[in-house]
Amino acid sequence: MMNRFLMALGLLAFLAAPAAAQLCPAAGSEAEIRAPLPRFTAAVASGGPIEVLAVGLGNMRSGGMEGPFASAFKEALARGLPGRDVRVTIVPTPVMLAKDAADRLRRGVVEGEPALVVWRTGLADALAVTEPSRFRRIVQRAAAWISAQKADLVLVDLAYTGEGAHEPTYRRYVDALAQVGRDGEAAVFRRYAITEAWYRAGVAPEKMADSEVCMAQLLAAAILRQAAP
């Protein structure tokens, strides 16, 4: 009962956080995760430490391992689970194709035994023009392996950046990740749909760093809602 109360309190605090309210545009149903996260939910209910592996959220800028997305994601999860030992391990995979990032991901899962894996992927393969069906199979194999390790997987797809010539290519990889979700291999956080909605409404943050922070907060909130009692 106390765990449920604390988590409900954390969600209220998260949603009321002034920084999020002032900085981030609203997001609709596209910001929801449409699949259960049973292992993460069980970890939250257990009262013990909560291990999360975040792949592809960090970067190497300024000599550090964490960019604004990773830092904001860690802070948002901790704020939503007050009093809990939330351990988020960041595995930055800058410009890594999915096949290479998947190897890093597997090592991280073996070493950390997380209840939840968050994997942002697709951009490097889009830029390299990896065959989308091959990209999808790589992600599906990694997703099946993660499930066998008793962990949940949330895939984070690409960001929408405007009506440029590259958008039809980006959509092919967004569609590939959506298919992995439809096949029941993983949950998908639809960053592309959120940023496209912001862009069309004229409310997208002007600075990339602000957009990354907003997206991290939305992702953490979506995950926490799935684990709420």
The residue type of 109 is V
Positions of E strands within the chain: 50-55, 86-91, 116-120, 152-156, 187-189
Percent of the chain with pLDDT over 70: 86
What number of helices (H) and strands (E) belong to the chain? 10, 5
What does the pLDDT read at residue 53?
96
Mean pLDDT over the full length of the chain: 87
Q: Which range is least confidently modeled, 21-30, 75-84, 217-226? A: 21-30
Rounded to 5°, angle at Cα 49 from 184 and 211: 60
Residue 51, strand partner residues: 87
Is the pTM value of this prediction over 0.85?
yes
13-72 per-position pLDDT tens digit:
444 444 444 478 999 999 999 999 999 999 999 999 999 999 998 764 433 456 888 999
- Going across the sheet that includes 187-189, the strands are 86-91, 50-55, 116-120, 152-156, 187-189
> What is the percentage of the chain residues whose pLDDT exceeds 90?
73
At 40 the three-state DSSP class reads helix
- CA of 79: how far to CAs of 49, 84, 197, 199, in Å? 15, 9, 27, 28
Categorize the per-residue pLDDT at 223 as very low, low, confident or very high, splitting at 50, 70 and 90.
very high
